[in-house]
Structure formats: C-alpha cells, structure tokens
Amino acid sequence: MKIIMGADPAGFELKNAIKEDLLKRGYEIMDIDPDEPVLFQEAAKAVARGVQSKEPEEQKLSITPMYSVWGGFIIGNEMGREMARAWLEAEHMVGLDPEMARIVEKEFDELVEFENEMYGDTRQ
C-alpha cells in the first residue's frame, strides 16, 4: 500500500517518525516534503493532489482511506506511530452488527457506483 504524507513545521518531526516506522513495515511512502516542512495549506494541497492523481496503486475508495491531521504539538512520535499502525492494521468491520454491516456495504456500493459515474472507474 502506498501512503501519501506531508507536514507543516509543527508536524514535520511527527511525520518523519511515522514515515520511518511505516517504511520498516513495508509500506511505500510518497512524501511531498521530504527535506523540510511547508506551510500547512501547501502540504494539504499537495497531499490532496497526490490522492486525486490516483498515483497510489492500491488506494482505497473515498470512505475508507486514512485522511488525518495529527498535531505535532499534541501527539508525540511514539503515539503517532502507534496510531498509524493501529489504523492500517485494523479490520474495520469486525464486530459490526450483521444488519448494520449489510447497510454499510449497500451504502458503500452505492458510493462506488456514484464515484464511477462521476469520475470513471476508481479501481483502474
């Protein structure tokens, strides 16, 4: 799986700590600001463009990716690493009531159909 990352000055150290951990675990990282942080709005735009380009080959559809903003002033490096691992390794539908799982699956299928109508087949 390819993960797109970027950070402003406050989150740069945190981003690099998470990136280092994910690289060790075999994830491919597309880092939009590998050498120095950029302004928040520039990082956000660059990450959004990367997602929009569909460059990540195994990109999940719109309701499942981890789009997250974690504050480097609030979250320490180890907590950031643990949060990223927990999200990426979790089975998100485990334990869901069967009726709710059916509803979620139906709504997800409808969302995929809508995205395909609007943007073409997102699985290509």
* 54 and 104 share one domain: no
pTM over 0.85: no
| Single-letter code of the amino acid located at 9 | P
Would you say residue 70 has pLDDT above 70?
no
pLDDT of residue 119: 75
* 60 and 110 share one domain: no
* 67 and 46 share one domain: yes
Would you say residue 24 has pLDDT above 90?
yes
Domain count, the chain: 2
**Measured between alpha carbons, how far is 65 from 87 in angstroms, rounded to an integer?**
10
Who has greater pLDDT, 74 or 26? Answer: 26
Would you say residue 53 has pLDDT above 80?
no
* 47 and 99 share one domain: no
Decide: 40 and 8 in contact? Cβ < 8 Å. Answer: yes
Decide: 86 and 20 in contact? Cβ < 8 Å. Answer: no
Would you say residue 62 has pLDDT above 50?
no
Per the prediction, the chain carries an average pLDDT of 77
* 6 and 42 share one domain: yes
pLDDT of residue 100: 82
Domain range for 99:
92-123
* 35 and 62 share one domain: yes
pLDDT of residue 69: 58
pLDDT of residue 64: 39
**Measured between alpha carbons, how far is 37 from 40 in angstroms, rounded to an integer?**
9
Least confident piece of the model among 16-25, 49-58, 81-90, 97-106: 49-58
* 57 and 107 share one domain: no
**Measured between alpha carbons, how far is 11 from 37 in angstroms, rounded to an integer?**
8
* 50 and 86 share one domain: yes
Supply the CATH number for residue 79's domain.
3.40.1400.10
> Which token pair is 7?
């950070």
pLDDT of residue 58: 47
* 104 and 83 share one domain: no
